[in-house]
Amino acid sequence: MVEGLAIGACYGLFATAVVIIYKTSEVVNFAQGEMAMFSSFVAFHILSAYQYPFWLAFVITMLFSILLGILIEFLFLRPAKHPSILGMIVITLGAEMFLMGLASWKWGAEQKFFSLPLNPSVTYEPVKGMIITNWAIAVFAVTACIMLFLYIFFKFTRLGVAMRATQQNKHAAKIMGIRTERIFSFAWGFSSLIGAVAGMFFASRATLDPAFMMEPFLRAFAAAVLGGLMSIPGVIIGGALMGLIENFFGYFWPHWKPIIAFIVIILVLCLRPSGLFTKHYVKKV
Amino acid sequence: MFQKRMVVLWIAVWAVLCLAPAAQAAMPAGFDDNEIRIGQWGPQTGPAAPWGSVARGSKLLFDIVNEEGGIHGRKIKYFIRDDMYNPAQTVAVVKELVERQGVFAFVGGVGSATGMAVRDYLAAKKIAWIGPAAADKDFAFPLNPYLFASYPLYKDEGSILAKYIVEKLKMKKIGILYQNDAYGKDGLEGVKERLATYKMDLVAEIPVEPTEKDMASQVLRLKTAGAETVILYVMPTAAVITMKTAANVGFKPHWVASNTLSDYPLMFKITGGLWEGVITGALAETPDSKSPLMIKYREAAKRLAPEERWGVFYYAGIVFADPIVEALKKVGRNLSTEALLKALNSTKDHQTLGPKVNWTEKQHQGTDSVMIHKCGPNASYIMLQDWTTNDMATWKK
C-alpha cells in the first residue's frame, strides 16, 4: 500500500508539472515527459562523466531544467503566431520528438543505471507487513515540500497571483501591467524543474533511456485529469488514488492493473468532467 | 484523324519502351558475377536499439567472408536498414531493399511483430529469409518454404529452464512473471508443461504489460505466494524494476530468466549489480569461450569493428547469418533461389557459436536447444549446462 501511495505521489508530483503549464496557458504540454527525461540524462551525464557529488549534480540539473523549460517555451511556442490550443499541443508534440531524438543521439538508446543517494537495503517496518522504503520516504517528503511551496507561492506572492491572473484572463492581466510573456517563461521553467525531480525519482526506480518517461507521463496526465487539471492538491490526490487503485488490482487481479486506472478516469469524466477536485465551470463565449 | 492516331501510336510505343526496362528494374536478380546482395532490418535507433547490434554482428561475419575472398568468386554486399522496431517501418525498408536494391536474401531481423509484418511479402516475392532474430512460432509453423528459423522457441526454453530448476536447483515453489504477449505466454506454456510432468503447479503466474513501470504489487504477490524461484519472461526494463523492487522489500528468491536477458554486462550495469547470481537461458556460447571459432570471431571483431562491444547480441548476429554462408558455399557458382533453398533444406547439425541447426523440406524450425548460464561477479559468465534439447518439444513429433 505504501509503495502504491509513493508511486502515486510520484505520478502526482509529475502531474503538478503538467498542471502548472495548463493553469497559465491552457496547453497540455506533451513534451513534459521528455523534458524530465532530458534533465535526468543531464544529471546522469554530470554524475558519470564528471564524477561530481550527487547534490552538486542535482543543483546543476535543476538550473538546467529551468533553462530548458524557458528555452522550449521561447523557441517552440512563442514564435507561433496566434496559435490555437490544438496548434500549441502539436508544437509540444514536436518538441517531445526533438528532445527524444537529441537524447538518443547524445546518450544512445541503451538503458542506463541511475540511482539516488538512498540506501535501498534500508527499509522500515512500523507495522508488520507494512514496509516503507527510503525511496517512498523521499518521494513523500519532496512532494510535501513542493506542495507547501506552491501553496505559499500562489497564495501570497506577487508572481503567484500574477500567474493566476494570467490564467484567468491573459488580456486583462496584460492591461493591469503584468508581463504575461515572462509569466509563461516562468511557468515553463518551474514546471520543467518539478518534472526533472519526478523524472529522477522514476529513473532511479527503473532505468534511464530516451523513452523511459512516456508511460509515467501518460499516468501522470491521467492523474491530472482524475484530480482536475486546474487543481494542484487535486492532482496529488488523483495520483495517490491512482497508485492505490492500480496496486490493489495489481495484487488481486494483475490482468486488470494496466487498464483499471483508465477505466476509473473514464467513469470520473462521465460523472465529473472537470475532475474530482475542481469546480465545474462553463466558459461564456 | 490520322494525326490523332499517330499521337496515340507514339504514346503506346513510348509506354512500351519506358515500362519494359522499368519492369526489369523493379525486381533485380539479387546477385551478379561479382556480388550477392543480402539485407537485414533491425532497430538502430529508438527504444529497442540495444538489440540493433544483431544486424551489425552479421556484418562482421560477411566482412570476414569477403576478406577471405568471398563465396565462389562473389563478394557479399550487405545492407542494414533501421526499422526502429516499428513494423510499419520494417515493411518500408524491406520493400526498398527488395524493389530498389535487389536483395537476394535476408538474414536475422530483430522482433516478432516486425518480422510478421514482412513474412508474407517476402514469401510472395520468393525471397529467402534465414535466421529471424526472434522466436515466434508463426515463423516456422505452418511451413513457409522461404523462411528458415534458428532461434530456439521460448516454449522449449521455458521447459528446459523449468526442468533445471526442479532437478538441479531442487526448488518446489516456482513463480513466474511473464510479459502479456506471445513472448511471455510461450515461455509460461513451456514452464507449465514441464512442471505438469512433476505434478507441480506454479505458485504464482503474473502477467506484466511491456510498458509497466511499477512492479510493487506483482513482487508482493510473488513474495506472499512464497516463491523460492521466480522465472522472468519480460523486457530488460521490467526485469530491472522487478529486481530493484524485490531488493527494497527484502524478497530474495532464485531468479531465472529468458535468453533475452542474457546480456550480463548490460543487465549487471542497469540493475546496479543485482543481476549477479541470475540464471538465464542462452542461445550462444559465453563471450569468453575458448572455442576456436569464438576466438577467431572475437579477434576479427577487434580488428574490423573495434567500436563494438563483444556482447551476446552482437555475436548472435553471426549465429543467425552463418547458415546462409554455408548454404551459398554448398550451392557453388550456379546460384539461384531454388538452389539456395535446396542447400538450406539439407542443413544437418550445422553449428557455429549457437545450437545445432537442422532444416529439411518439411521442418524449418532449426533447433530446440539452449545453454544455461549464470551471471557471476562483475557480470562474468558461468556455464551451468551445455546445449540441452527439449525432450518435450511437440513440434518435432
In this structure, are B148 and B158 located in the same domain?
no
Mean pLDDT of B39-57: 86
* Residue ranges making up the domain that contains B182: 154-282+373-396
A116 touches chain B (CB under 8 A): no
Question: Residue A18 is placed in which grid cell?
Answer: 503538467
**How confident is residue B1, by pLDDT bands cut at 50, 70 and 90?**
low
Is position B110 within any domain? yes
Using a CB-CB cut-off of 8 Å, the residues of chain B touching A251 are 217, 220-221
B72: left (phi over 0), alpha (psi -120 to 50) or beta: left
Instruction: Examine the domain organization and report whether B224 and B298 are in the same domain.
Output: no
Task: Say which of B47, B216, B244 has its CB closest to residue A109.
Answer: B47
Q: Residue A252 domain-assigned?
A: no
- Which pLDDT score, from 0 to 100, does residue B23 have? 44
Average pLDDT, chain A: 84
CATH of residue B272's domain is 3.40.50.2300
pLDDT of residue A171: 75
Extended beta strands in chain B, E state: 35-42, 75-82, 105-107, 128-130, 147-148, 174-179, 204-208, 229-233, 254-257, 279-282, 369-375, 381-389
Each residue's pLDDT tens digit, B257-299: 999 999 999 999 989 899 999 999 999 999 999 999 999 999 9
* A123 domain-assigned: yes
Measure in Å the smallest separation between the Cα of B70 and chain A Cα atoms. 33
Distance from C-alpha of B192 to C-alpha of B205, rounded to nearest angstrom: 10
Residues B76 and B136 in one domain: yes
Q: How many CB atoms lie within 10 A of CB B250?
A: 11
C-alpha cell at A54: 550527487
B interface with A, Cβ–Cβ below 8 Å? 43, 45-50, 180, 206-209, 211-214, 216-218, 220-221, 236-237, 240-241, 244-245, 247-250, 266, 269-272
Q: What is the pLDDT at residue B10? A: 66
Q: Which domain holds residue A62?
A: 2-212
- Place B357 in a pLDDT band, splitting at 50, 70 and 90: very high
CA distance A211 to B237: 11
Residues B238 and B269 in one domain: yes
The kind and range of the H/E element at B348 are none
CA distance A239 to chain B (A): 13
CB contacts < 8 A, A to B, total 109
Tell me how crowded residue B17 is: count the other CB atoms within 10 A of its CB: 10
Residue B26 has pLDDT above 80, yes or no: no
**Residue of chain A whose Cα is closest to the Cα of B266:** A111
- Domain-embedded: residue A149: yes
A261 is a domain residue: no
| pLDDT at B9 exceeding the cut of 70 | no
The pLDDT value given to residue B7: 61
- One domain for residues B139 and B241: no
* Residues B193 and B257 reside in one and the same domain: yes
Query: Is B82's pLDDT higher than 50?
Result: yes
Share of chain B above pLDDT 90, in %: 75
Q: What is the ipTM of this complex?
A: 0.77
Q: Into how many domains does chain A fold?
A: 1
Whether B334 is covered by a domain: the verdict is yes
B227 and B306 both lie in a single domain: no
Does the pLDDT at position B395 exceed 90? no
The answer as to whether A8 is a domain residue is yes
Task: Please say if the pLDDT value at position B25 is more than 50.
Answer: no
Collect the ranges in chain A with pLDDT lower than 50.
Answer: 284
pTM over 0.95: no
Say yes or no: B139 and B164 in one domain: no
Residue A273 lies inside a defined structural domain of this protein: no
- Whether residue B160 is found in the same domain as residue B50: no
What is the pLDDT at residue B6? 60
Structure-derived torsion over alpha carbons of residues B123, B125, B131, B133, reported in degrees to the nearest 10:
-90
| Tens-digit pLDDT profile for residues B379-391 | 999 999 999 999 9
Residues B179 and B271 in one domain: yes
Output the pLDDT for position A225: 85
Q: Residue A40 domain-assigned? A: yes
Does residue B98 share a domain with residue B48?
yes
Cell of residue B351, nine digits: 553449428
Contact A69, A35 (CB under 8 A): yes
B126, part of any domain: yes
Kindly state whether residue B269 falls inside one of the protein's structural domains. yes
In whole angstroms, what is the distance from residue B143 CA to residue B151 CA?
15
Report d(CA B255, CA B277) in Å as an integer: 8
Nearest residue to A223 via CA among A32, A76, A2, A69: A32
Q: State residue B143 phi and psi, 5-degree precision.
A: -60, 130
Inter-chain contact B47–A215, Cβ cutoff 8 Å?
A: no
Task: Give the DSSP letter string of A198-252.
Answer: HHHHHHHHS-B-TTTTHHHHHHHHHHHHHH-TT-HHHHHHHHHHHHHHHHHHHHH
Provide φ and ψ at B36, rounded to 5°: -120, 130
Model pLDDT, residue B343: 96
Let me know whether B217 and B311 are in one domain.
Answer: no
Percentage of residues in chain B with pLDDT exceeding 70? 92
Report yes or no on B23 lying in a domain.
Answer: no
Q: Is residue B4 part of a domain?
A: no
Is residue B20 in some structural domain?
no
> What's the number of domains chain B is made of?
2
